[in-house]
Structure 1
Amino acid sequence: MGAGIVGLASAWELAQQGHKVTVIDRAASGAGASRANGAQLSYSYVQPLADASIWRQLPKLLLASDSPLKLRIQADPAQWAWGLSFLAACRNDVSRATTETLLALAERSRAAFDAMLSASQIACDFSATGKLVLYANQESFVAAQRQMLLQRALGSVQEAVDARRCVEIEPALERQEARIAGAIYTPSECAADCFKVCAGLETALRARGVRFMLETEVTGLVSDGLQIRAAQTSTGDIEGDAFVLAMATGSVPLARSIGKRLPVYPLKGYSATVRAATDPFAAPHVSVTDAARKMVFARLGDRLRIAGMAELVGHDNSVPDARIETLLAAGREVFPRASDYATLDRWAGLRPATPTGLPIVGRLAGAPENLLFNTGHGALGFTLAFGTARALLKPLQERRRT
C-alpha cells in the first residue's frame, strides 16, 4: 500500500524473493513526496534533525522571517504531541544513537539500491560525485566536525575542509569562498532523480508480474484482530497473506483505524528545478548542502534541483511563490552562473517524519501480525528506502516458516 519510493522499493525486494505482489496507490507512482525531492542519496551524512544544537537555534528558527524552519501552530493534538516528542529527542545521547542506527541502515540501502540499479538499468540521472556540506560560521563548523568524528568512527569516510579546498572540489563555488567557514566533504555520496527511479521501478516490476492498482484509494483494513484479511479500496476489497503499509503520512489514519498510533507528522519541504548552464564550471557537479539555509543543490543531468526547508504546517500541499523564490534566490547567490533560474518545476511535498528521525519498519506490538510498516523516513526516504525494504524480508520469511 503506497507507490512512492518506499512502497516501490518494498515491492521490488519482495518480488525478488518470489512473493506475488500487488501495489495500490490513490495516485500515480512517485506522485507524492517522491516526485521532486532533494535528490541526494545521503548514505554517509545522516545527522538527524533532532539534535541538541536545535535548542540554541530555536528562537531564530521559529521567529526569523526568512527561517528555513516554520511552525504554524494549529488546534491539532498530533502536531503538539509530535513537537513535544521532537524537542524531547533533541539530546546528544539520542542523536548519537539515531546516527548509529541510520548509518547502518543507509549502508544496507546503498548496497540494495546499487543492486537494483544494476539489475534494472533504470535511467535516472544517477551520479556519484560526492557531497559538500557548507557552514557559514566557525561555531557551526566546529559542531559539524564533532558529528563528522562520530560518523567516521562508525565507518563513514569524510573530511573537514577549508573554503579553498571547497572550491578545488567544486569550482562552481568560487564566488562563495569568502563566505564559507568550512565544510564536511563526503566523496562517496550520490544523487539521482527519485521520480525517474519510481517510474523505472514501475516498468521493471510490471515486467516481473507485479500487479499495479493506481488511482485506487485504500480506505480501510479488514481485520479479525490477529490478521488483516483485506485492504478495502475504492474499487473493492483486495485480499492478501501479508500487507505492507508504506503510504507516507497517509499511513497514520489507516493505522489509527486498527487502533495503532504512529508518531508520524508531515514535514513539508519544497523544491525548484532549473536548467543547468552548459558551461561545465558554472553549475555544480558535486552535491552541495547549505547547512544554514537547510537547502540542497543536486545536479540531475542537464538540470539543477534546489530543495529544502522544513515546515510543520499540517497537511498543506500548497506551493507559495515566496518559498520558491527563496530557493531561487539562494541559487542565484550560491551559484550565480549556474542557471537562468527560470523554473522547470516547482514542488512541495509532505515528508513523513518521526520525532527522532528513525523510520518505523516491520511489525508493531499490538498490530495484526501480518501487517508490516514501512514509513516515517522524513527527509531520508530516498536514501533509506531500499534498506528498510530489505528489513521487511526477515519477518515475512519467519511467517513463511510458521
Structure 2
Amino acid sequence: MHTTDSSPRQVCVLGAGIVGLATAWELAQAGMQVTVVDRAAPGQGTSGANGAQLSYAYVQPLADPSIWLQLPHLLLAKDSPLSLRLRLDPWQWAWGLRFLAACRASVSARTTARLLQLAAESRAAFDAFRAAAAVDCDFSATGKLVLYTSEAAFAAARRQLALQQAMGTRQSAVSASDCVAIEPALAHYAPRVAGAIHTPGECAVDCHALCLALAERLRQRGVQFVTGQAVERLQLRGGRIAGAQLADGRVLQADAFVLALGTGTPALLRPLGLGVAWQVPVYPLKGYSITAATLAQGDGAPRVSVTDAARKVVFARLGQRLRVAGMAELAGEDWSIAPARITALQATARDVFPQGGDYAQADAWAGLRPATPLGEPVIGRLSGAPGNLYLNTGHGALGLTLAFGSAQRMARLIGQRRPTSAAAPAACSA
C-alpha cells in the first residue's frame, strides 16, 4: 500500500548484500517499514567471501595516475592481477574510457577525500550497529600492512600516504624489519619487502556471517524478506516508481525504492532512459578468494591484515581461517570460477605465508564487485529519474568498508535522519 505522506514510510530495498542489508537496518532504525528483495539469500552474492578487510583509512582509488605506467604489464602479463576480456559491450568500453580519464592526480585526490569522509561515517555507524546488535562475526581490529616490493612503488605509496595524512588519517611508512615486528608471520617474506604502509586502526570481519546476523536482526525488527525472486523491471506510473515486478509476476509496492543490487543495477535503470543509466556507470570487476583453515600451530597465519600491493592480493584473519582475495577481471556478468586464478591465489599465499593455512583444501569463490570509474559509490537520487527512486551502489572493492556509512546517508535522504557522530577528517568533503 502507498501512503500520501511526503516522508516515505514504506521502503523496498532491492538487494540483500551487505550494502542493501545495512541500508535496511538504518531505515528500520529510522522507523520505516522495510522489505528486502533479492534473487538469492542474504549475503550470497558478492558479499559471500570478499576480502573481509575494513579499510577505513587506506582508500586509494583504483583510478590513479600510477595506472598509466602499470597498464602494459597489467593488460599483457600472464601473471597480471588485472585481466581485460574485450566484449561487444558498449557499456564495457564506455566504462574503460571513463576509468582512464579518471586516472589523474587531481581526480584521485578529490575521490580520496570523499572516500575518507564516507569511511569515517561508516566506521561510526558500524560501531553503533555492533553495539546495538551484539554480533561478533570474527571481527578484529589488529591493523593493516600494505606491502611494496619495489622502491618505486613504495615511493608512490608514500606520496599517497602524505595526501591521506593531510586529511587526518593515522598511518605511517615502515621498513621491512618493522613489518616483522608488527606481524611476525612476515619473517619469511620480509627480505623481499621494500617497505610498507601501516594503518594500526584497520579492522576485518566475516562479511557473509555479518550479512546473516544482519538479516536475523532485521527479521526481529519486523523487516520483510522476499528472496529467490529476481526483480525483472520497475513499473512507472505518474512519473514515479509504482512497483517492482518480480520474476513470478508479483508486483511489490512501496513509497520509495532503493537500488542496492550491485552490478545488476544498470539493467534495471536502462529502460528509464540512457540519461538516467549513464549516471550510474557500474561495471563488474570480478574478484576471487580462497578461505583456508589455519594450521594446527597457528603461528604462520597473520593476525594483522596484509595487502600485497604488487599482486593486489589481500589477507585477512577470520578466527581460525585465513581469507586470501584479489584479482580484477573486466569480463562482464561472469560468475564462473577460473581454476588458474585460484591456483594463482594459492601460490601467492604459499609465497607470502607458507605456513598460513591448508591452501590445498581451501574453499574457492568468485564475485563481481560493482565498480565505478572513479571508485566512488553512487548514493542518492538521479537527475531525470523518478523522485522516489534512490541509488546505493558502485562501492567496488570497498563495499564492506563503506556499507554502513552509505546506508546512513540513504536513511537521512529518505527520512531526514541525523547522522551518527563521526570523527571525520576535517579536509574531507561530503
Distance 1:340 1:26 in 2: 33
2:356 and 2:253 map into 1 onto residues whose CA distance is: 51
Give the drift of 1:310.
0.6
1:325 corresponds to 2:343: yes
- Picking from 285, 291, 296, the partner of 1:278 is 296
Paired residue type of 2:394: G
Moved over 6 A (4+): none
| 2: CA distance, partners of 1:397 / 1:320 | 43
Per-residue deviation, residues 298-357 of structure 1 (Å, max 9, x unmatched): 000000000001110111111011100100100101001112313341111010000000
User: Does the 8 Å CA contact 1:106/1:383 hold for their aligned counterparts?
Assistant: yes
Structure-1 residue corresponding to 2:66: 53
Question: Aligned equivalents of 2:362 and 2:254: distance in 1?
Answer: 41
Residue 90 of structure 2 is aligned to residue 77 of structure 1:
yes
Q: Which residue of 1 aligns with 2:361?
A: 343
Match in the other structure for 2:267: 253
Moved more, 275-284 or 115-124: 275-284
Report what 1:97 is aligned to: 110
2:172 corresponds to: 159
- Give distance in 2, aligned partners of 1:91 and 1:225: 42
The amino acid that maps onto 1:244 is V
Give the drift of 1:225.
5.0
Aligned residue among 201, 209, 227 for 2:214: 201
Counterparts of 1:339 and 1:387 in 2: how far apart (Å)? Answer: 33
Greater Cα offset, 307-316 or 339-348: 339-348
Contact map agreement 2:19 2:399 (CA 8 A) in 1: yes
Q: Write the distance in 2 (CA, Å) between the matches of 1:395 and 1:109.
A: 16
CA drift of 1:278 comes to: 3.3
Question: What's the offset of the Cα at 1:66?
Answer: 0.3
| Alpha-carbon distance in structure 1 between the residues aligned to 2:413 and 2:122 | 18
Identity %: 60
Structure-2 separation of matches of 1:332 and 1:398:
50
Q: Does 1:44 align with 2:57?
A: yes
Task: Give the SS at the match of 1:342.
Answer: helix
Ranges in structure 2 where 5+ consecutive residues have no aligned partner: 1-13, 418-430
Q: Deviations over 1:367-387 (max 9, x none)?
A: 111110000000000000111
What secondary structure, in the 3-state scheme, does the structure 2 residue paired with 1:240 have? coil
Secondary structure in structure 2 of the residue aligned to 1:109: helix
Q: Does 1:141 align with 2:141?
A: no
**Is 1:387 paired with 2:405?**
yes
Q: Distance in 1 between matches of 2:60 and 2:339?
A: 29
Q: CA deviation at 1:358?
A: 0.7
Determine whether 1:106 maps to 2:124.
no
1:294 and 1:271 mapped to 2: Cα distance? 12
Equivalence for 1:186: 199
For 2:154 and 2:320, locate their aligned partners in 1 and report how far apart those are by CA, in whole Å: 31
- 2:416 and 2:52 map into 1 onto residues whose CA distance is 34
Match of 2:425 in 1: none
Aligned-pair CA distance for 1:226? 2.3
Partner of 2:424: none
Render the CA deviation track for 1:147-173: whole Å, top value 9, x for unaligned. 011111111100000000000000000
* 1:124 corresponds to: 137
- Aligned-partner residue type, residue 323 of structure 2: R
| Residues 355/225 of structure 1: CA separation in 2 closer, same or farther (3 Å cut) | farther
Q: Does 1:334 align with 2:348?
A: no
Match of residue 254, structure 2, among 210, 230, 240: 240
Per the normalisation by structure 1, the TM-score is 0.98
Give the Cα separation in 2 of the matches to 1:33 and 1:276: 24
Structure 1 distance, partners of 2:41, 2:111, is: 32
Determine if contact 2:298/2:356 at 8 Å carries over to the other structure: no
| Alignment size in residue pairs | 399
**Offset of 1:231 from its aligned partner?**
0.8
CA contact (8 A) 2:289 2:365 kept: yes
| Cα distance in structure 2, aligned partners of 1:16 and 1:186 | 31
Q: Separation in 1 of the partners of 2:221 and 2:298?
A: 40
Q: Structure 1 unaligned runs (5+)? A: none
Q: 2:236 aligns with which of 193, 213, 223?
A: 223
